[in-house]
Amino acid sequence: MRRRFVVALVLMLGAIASLAQVQPTDTKYMISLHTGYAHNLTYGSYATFDLDAYVPIHQHFDMQANLRTSTANSHSLGVQLRPKFALPVGELYIEDRLMMRFVACDEFNEFLHAISLGYMMEYVNVQVGVYTRVIQPLPYIPRSEDELICEPFDVLYRVEAFVRPRTSPWNISLALSNVDNYQVERMWQPMFYLGGWYDINEHWRVRMSGKLKLAGMFHLNAHYYASELRVGAEYRF
Amino acid sequence: MKKNIQIYLGSLLSVFSIILTACGPDARLDMAGMFAGSSPKIDDRFTESQVYNNQHGFCTLQAPAEDYHVYVCTDTHITKTQKRWINFIETYRQDMLCPVAVHLGDIIDAQNHFDEMYSAYQSVPMNPAKSDTLMAIAGNHDIYFKQWPQFIELFKTCTYYFIVRTPSGAQDLFICYDSADGTVGSKQLQWLTQTLQWADTQGFRHIVACTHTHFFKRDYSQGHTSNYTTEETFALLNLFAKHGVEMLWSGHDHAREVTKVKGMTCIVVDSMKDGDKNPFYMLVTMGKSISYEFIPVD
């Protein structure tokens, strides 16, 4: 019953998202391409390729799509819908995230739906929410003994600090989160990010970021698990 | 959902209280381990286990009958009391159909309790009518506060397999591996792959994998227990499924959970810690098929 409810909720929110009206806006569209070197204890070394698009639908509503493919044969596709509201200081936003990850190398799919509330300020971005994960073993045979595995309720969070105001032509940020554009880890599996950008001109921005994922922090036996270095460029129309 | 939120808030409070009570000489939790574990890392622990395995080989046990029993417990978290631990030992030693018992880790709760655990083990009279074998795997609590040397001194190895042979010659394979760091590491993953490839050629009747860390996070039964990373979760499950593992036994979560995935049954066994509510061990009957039941300890 609970699983049906979750699936219905995911479908309903997807439908709402697809019906969102495109409004004239003066915020810039953006497309970005990144490539990265990644390593983890399971796959070893592999390369990642990311294509992201940012679509400002309305001054109070934007959307982002993220696609990742990797030489580890694990791929993800995500959509984020973000109603936002300017406050006297900073901006409050709600993020509705749908994500699919196709872990073809290990014959699993996972589907995630997350809702979070965020507060973006000049130097700090804080986001907290909840998500549901449904794991589908492959090949999946409906009504067989194998189950769709539902992890019904977990928490996502992101705390990010910038060394300069967000509107600066260059910046460096440090973040702690269990979520990025291409994966959502369980709550007790935080990831650390260090990133920065530099605006070459009005249209082009280059970005570089690093990620560190430890295993077992809440086993109290922390151990290196994964790292990633990404570089790429954004084009703003 | 409301219940989930309550459980979640409760677990958050429990984490904060744990952090606040984790200091001092009687500290239960090695909080520095959040950023750097104090025992050797998984690859080093695996190497130590392999040194023992290479010198002594792997164990083959004789089952008393075609259908025999395996007693499985986990998370005894032994401190100054060992009531349920003693109860478990007495029970499996009296069962003439049981050639082996398995402890899935978190044998002790914190520093300096291996002695109490071992004294309690020795205090239970051996059953002269049968052999007595207890297999164990380290849990995260067993290696806090640099306790790995004590664990390995007592149990000798933490990554190994053993075989149980029935009177008719059928053989069941039990693979035990170390997940006390929340990862199996790269070397141990390679060993698991090679061992399972070897197992493919041996015609085992059943294959069972045993470890401490559980695979899924389907509820907030214990709140702050962490799992493998998602990548490792999928990789391990796929590896086990491809090589005919029928059951995965784990603990760590302190609450029972049975999940069917890729033809395997993943079982999280209840905690057997003194003071915990609903302590159970698992009694497994290995026959033509594998059946299991959960038995209350008290």
pLDDT in the model for residue B236: 97
Mean pLDDT of chain A: 89
- Nearest C-alpha neighbor of B278 from the set B295, B262, B253: B295
Q: Do A145 and B224 touch (CB under 8 A)?
A: no
Domain ranges of chain B: 37-296
Contacts of B3 (CB under 8 A, 6+ apart): none
CA torsion sign, B213 to B219 to B224 to B230?
positive
CA angle B104, B175, B137 (to 5 degrees): 25
* Chain B, nearest residue to A191 by Cα: B229
CB B215 within 8 A of CB B254: no
Asked if the Cβ–Cβ distance from B30 to A106 is below 8 Å, we say no
- Vertex B72 angle, CA B68 and B77, to 5°: 160
Please state, in angstroms and as integers, the Cα–Cα distance from residue A33 to each residue in A55, A206, A233, B45, following that order: 15, 10, 6, 41
A220 contacts B224? CB cut-off 8 A = no
Nearest to A215 among B36, B182, B238 (CB): B182
Q: Is the pLDDT of residue A9 over 60?
A: no
Interface A-B, measured as beta-carbon pairs within 8 A, has a size of 147
3-state secondary structure B161-217: EEEEECCCCCEEEEEECCCCCCCCHHHHHHHHHHHHHHHHCCCCCEEEEECCCCCCC
Burial class (CB in 10 A: 0-12, 13-18, 19+), A18: exposed
Is pLDDT of A32 > 90?
Answer: yes
Q: Which residues from chain B sit within 8 angstroms of residue A220, using beta carbons?
A: 29-31, 33-34, 37, 140, 144
B140 vs A42, A44, A219: nearest CB = A219
CA distance A195 to chain B (A): 21
User: Which strands sit side by side in the sheet containing B290-296, from one edge to the other?
Assistant: B134-136, B100-103, B68-73, B280-286, B290-296
Mutation for A interface: B231, B240, B252, most A CBs within 10 A: B231
Collapsing DSSP to helix, strand or coil, A69 comes out as: strand
Q: Which of A46, A103, A144, A221 to mutate to test the interface with B (most CBs of B within 10 A)?
A: A221
Q: In this predicted complex, what is the ipTM?
A: 0.86
Residues of B in contact with A38 (CB under 8 A): none
Residue A190, preceding peptide bond in cis (omega within 30° of 0): no
Q: How many residues does chain B have?
A: 298
CATH class of B37-296: alpha beta
Q: Which residues contact A146 (CB under 8 A, 6 or more apart)?
A: A137, A140, B260, B261, B262, B263
Specify the pLDDT at position A17.
42
Say if residue A113's pLDDT is above 70: yes
Cβ of B8 and A153 within 8 Å? Answer: yes
Q: Which residues of B touch A148 (CB under 8 A)?
A: none
Helices (H) and strands (E) in chain A, counts: 1, 12
Residue B246 near residue B260 (C-beta atoms within 8 A): no
Identify the structural domains of chain A with CATH numbers, from first to last.
Answer: 2-236 (2.40.128.130)
Residue with tokens 């997940």: B179
Of A226, A232, A230, A227, residue with least CA distance to A209: A230
Which 3 state secondary structure label does DSSP give B142? helix
* Pairing assessment for the beta strands B100-103 and B134-136 based on DSSP bridges: parallel
Whether residues A216 and B226 touch (CB distance < 8 A) is answered with yes
pLDDT at B187: 96
Tell me how many degrees the CA angle B36-A190-A226 measures, rounded to the nearest 5.
Answer: 70
Q: What is the pLDDT along chain B (298 residues), one digit of tens a residue?
A: 555 555 555 555 555 545 544 444 556 677 777 777 778 999 999 999 999 999 999 999 999 999 999 999 999 999 888 899 999 999 999 999 999 999 999 999 888 889 889 999 989 988 888 878 999 999 999 998 889 999 999 999 999 999 999 999 999 999 999 999 999 999 999 999 999 999 999 999 999 999 999 999 888 776 767 889 999 999 999 999 999 999 999 999 999 999 999 999 999 999 999 988 889 999 999 999 999 999 999 8
Phi-psi group of B137: left, alpha or beta (phi > 0 → left; psi -120 to 50 → alpha; rest → beta): beta
Q: In this structure, which amino acid lies at residue B89? A: I
Strands annotated E in A8-162 = 30-40, 44-58, 61-70, 75-86, 91-103, 108-120, 124-137, 149-162
- Please name the residue of chain B whose CA is at the shortest distance from the CA of residue A141: B262
Amino acid sitting at position B114:
F
Return the pLDDT at B221. 74
Distance from CA of B134 to the nearest CA of A (A): 24
For residues A15 and A201, the model is more confident at A201
Yes or no, beta carbons of A222 and B183 under 8 Å apart:
no
